[in-house]
Chain A
Amino acid sequence: MNTKLLDPTNESRVSTMELVGRPESLRGLTVGLLDISKARGDVFLDRLEERLSEMGADVRRYKKPTFTKPAPVDLRHEITTQCQVVIEALAD
């Protein structure tokens, strides 16, 4: 006889999302740099900002309140409405 088990999971189905196509050039695009608030992440992002600006990108900086928690909804909304490209820096 078959055994019937109750599903212990959240029973959700994984939704798939299409990646946005890679831009041919960053010139004229707004690039968001998200600092997750880990030590020295800003050092890396400062350098990236320099390089991206040289390439003609309009760079905007964003920062999570703490690296231990997901970015707040408002911050995610702000980035998605203001930027075409985002780079999230993990530092350690």
Chain B
Amino acid sequence: MTRVGAPRLPDGLVVVVKRECETCRMIVPVLEQLRERCDLTVHVQDDPEFPSGLEPIHDSDLAVSWHHDIETVPTLIRVVDGVETARTVGWVRDEWESLSGVGALGPDLPAFRPGCGSMSVDPDLEHQLAVRFGNSTLVARRVDVAASEDEFEAMFDRGWTDGLPVVPPTEKRVLRMLTGTTRRPDDVVAVVPPDLVDVTVEKIAINAVMAGCKPEYLPWVIAAVEAVCNDVFNIHGVLATTMPVGPVIVANGPGTRAIGMNGGMNAFGQGNRANLTIGRAVQLVVRNVGGGRPGEVDRATHGNPGKISFCFAEDEIGSPWTTLATSRGIAPDTNAITVFPGEGPRCVVDQLARDPESLCNTFAACLRTLHNPKSVLAFDAILVVGPEHARVFAEAGWDRDRVLTELHARLQIHGSELVRGANGIAEGVPGHLKDTTLPKFRPNGILLVHAGGGAGLFSAIIGGWANGNMGSEPVTREVRP
């Protein structure tokens, strides 16, 4: 394949080589044979003197290699009237003889030897070349930052950041980011509130670069953007609310381990690039594409630090239970994310419980206080059970459903404790409910996740926001390449 704007190749035979390639060095006698019998032009990628005596042309900027789509060296090309009519890669004697029309090539050489990778497809250079030779398919507006400007300050000034510095989204970095997905850059992924703007894979990739993502994180970011930007999750409301919530992302599947996500020690904390940058990229998309900025549509009274990023993996390997994603209908061992409108995590301490009943009592007592001890049914929660607590359940043979059933049973509250004014607290449910029993959570309102480090008899609660049709439903989506 020849790309638009390719330098014209001379008629005859053209070979592209590099000295670093052992096969290229091996076939020098063949090139000498061909030079005696035909018009042979040699382009060399690395050493301008190689091969000596054959007047090599140095492809110093790799323009010839890139435009003529050289993936392997040596590549032998036949050119007629300036047009490529045939090519062969590596050293295959039969093919070289047939292509050149010259027999008895390299009689002392083996009949076959594979070549090496062309410098023009070196992962470190490929995207730089694509930018240099203007083959970009990206359509985002280019913003010139003058050499005298500090590009990091320029991005702050333009309001593109979440308050922390972002990686400059150059075309080269965005092209490299896009290698993380099979989706086309112009694919529309979602309509992002609050401005209700179509977001393409390209725009997500730009924001993922800024967040600090690696290309292999991009499918996770895309899945999370899809999961939050719909009427079910309602990112508009999650953003606009005065409550301190943001999209909390729980990741499942073998891919979490492949990309190095953390579901173990310090799972919610600092230090893990995948966790932090995936969550951050989603929030940057909402900010930059959706136009959702604090003080504008975001009306949070306090907010929480997790609104920069709150994303972690479930520890599946150490878990006694089925995973969160599987419990929400995703096939086992499938990469998936669950988004939840959540506040910051709070710690549940119980260092003495050795039986599951006692531990459930602690969990229920702590869950009972969520948002207000007298608030019922309005909010969901993620209960993140740490490994040392999970072991108590595992040893007693309690599966996920048993734990949830026991928790819900302990969270049935008599109306007399909940009505307005009870316990000297004005907040509460209307007085006519005083003789009823009300559940703290709706039936699917506790999401059980296993995560955390191996030491510490602790768990964590992540409180939610207005649930169901009135506010937001957690959404689980498969992560596709």
> A residues bordering B, Cβ < 8 Å?
1-12, 65-66, 68-70, 92
In the complex, the 6 A-B pairs of residues with the closest C-beta atoms, listed nearest first = A68-B237, A10-B197, A7-B141, A6-B140, A8-B288, A3-B145
Pull 6 A–B residue pairs with CB atoms less than 8 Å apart, ordered by A: A8-B207, A9-B291, A10-B192, A10-B199, A66-B237, A68-B471
Interface size class for chain B?
35 or more
**Does A69 contact B289, Cβ atoms closer than 8 Å?**
no
**Does A68 contact B234, Cβ atoms closer than 8 Å?**
yes
**Does A8 contact B169, Cβ atoms closer than 8 Å?**
yes
CB < 8 Å: which of A3, A11, A69 contacts B170?
Answer: A3
**Does A3 contact B168, Cβ atoms closer than 8 Å?**
yes
> B residues bordering A, Cβ < 8 Å?
138, 140-147, 151, 154-155, 160, 168-171, 174, 192, 194-195, 197, 199, 202-203, 206-207, 210, 231, 234, 236-237, 240-242, 284, 288-291, 466, 469-472
Residue of B nearest to A7 (CB): B141
Residue of A nearest to B208 (CB): A8
Minimum Cβ distance to chain A for residue B4 (Å): 21
Given the known interface contacts A8-B288, A10-B288, the answer about A69 and B237 at a Cβ–Cβ threshold of 8 Å is yes
Minimum Cβ distance to chain B for residue A71 (Å): 12
Given the known interface contacts A2-B145, A68-B472, the answer about A8 and B203 at a Cβ–Cβ threshold of 8 Å is yes
**Does B145 contact A5, Cβ atoms closer than 8 Å?**
yes
CB < 8 Å: which of B147, B151, B237, B290 contacts A5?
Answer: B151
Q: How far is the CA of A12 from the CA of B288 in the complex (A)?
A: 11
**Does B138 contact A6, Cβ atoms closer than 8 Å?**
yes
Q: How far is the CA of A7 from the CA of B288 in the complex (A)?
A: 9
Of A6, A7, A8, A70, most buried by chain B (CB within 10 Å of CB) is: A8
Q: Which residues of A contact B202 (CB under 8 A)?
A: 6
Minimum Cβ distance to chain A for residue B290 (Å): 8
Q: Which residues of A contact B206 (CB under 8 A)?
A: 6-8
Q: Which residues of A contact B284 (CB under 8 A)?
A: 8
Residue of A nearest to B291 (CB): A10
Residue of B nearest to A4 (CB): B142
Q: Which residues of A contact B289 (CB under 8 A)?
A: 8-10
**Does B169 contact A5, Cβ atoms closer than 8 Å?**
yes
Q: Which residues of A contact B291 (CB under 8 A)?
A: 9-10
**Does A11 contact B140, Cβ atoms closer than 8 Å?**
yes
**Does A66 contact B171, Cβ atoms closer than 8 Å?**
no
Q: Which residues of B contact A69 (CB under 8 A)?
A: 231, 234, 236-237
Minimum Cβ distance to chain A for residue B326 (Å): 29
**Does B470 contact A5, Cβ atoms closer than 8 Å?**
no
Q: Which residues of A contact B169 (CB under 8 A)?
A: 5-6, 8
Q: Which residues of A contact B242 (CB under 8 A)?
A: 92
Q: How far is the CA of A6 from the CA of B141 in the complex (A)?
A: 6
**Does A7 contact B472, Cβ atoms closer than 8 Å?**
no
Minimum Cβ distance to chain B for residue A47 (Å): 21
Q: How far is the CA of A6 from the CA of B173 in the complex (A)?
A: 10
Q: Which residues of A contact B171 (CB under 8 A)?
A: 4, 6
CB < 8 Å: which of A2, A5, A6, A10 contacts B195?
Answer: A10
**Does A5 contact B155, Cβ atoms closer than 8 Å?**
yes
Residue of B nearest to A11 (CB): B141
Given contacts A5-B143, A68-B472, 13 further A-B contacts (CB under 8 A): A2-B147, A5-B142, A5-B154, A5-B155, A6-B138, A6-B171, A8-B206, A9-B160, A11-B141, A68-B466, A69-B234, A70-B194, A92-B242
Q: How far is the CA of A92 from the CA of B142 in the complex (A)?
A: 44
**Does B236 contact A70, Cβ atoms closer than 8 Å?**
yes
**Does B210 contact A68, Cβ atoms closer than 8 Å?**
no
Q: Which residues of A contact B143 (CB under 8 A)?
A: 4-7
Q: Which residues of A contact B199 (CB under 8 A)?
A: 10
Given the known interface contacts A5-B151, A10-B197, the answer about A68 and B138 at a Cβ–Cβ threshold of 8 Å is no
Minimum Cβ distance to chain A for residue B384 (Å): 25
Q: How far is the CA of A70 from the CA of B236 in the complex (A)?
A: 8
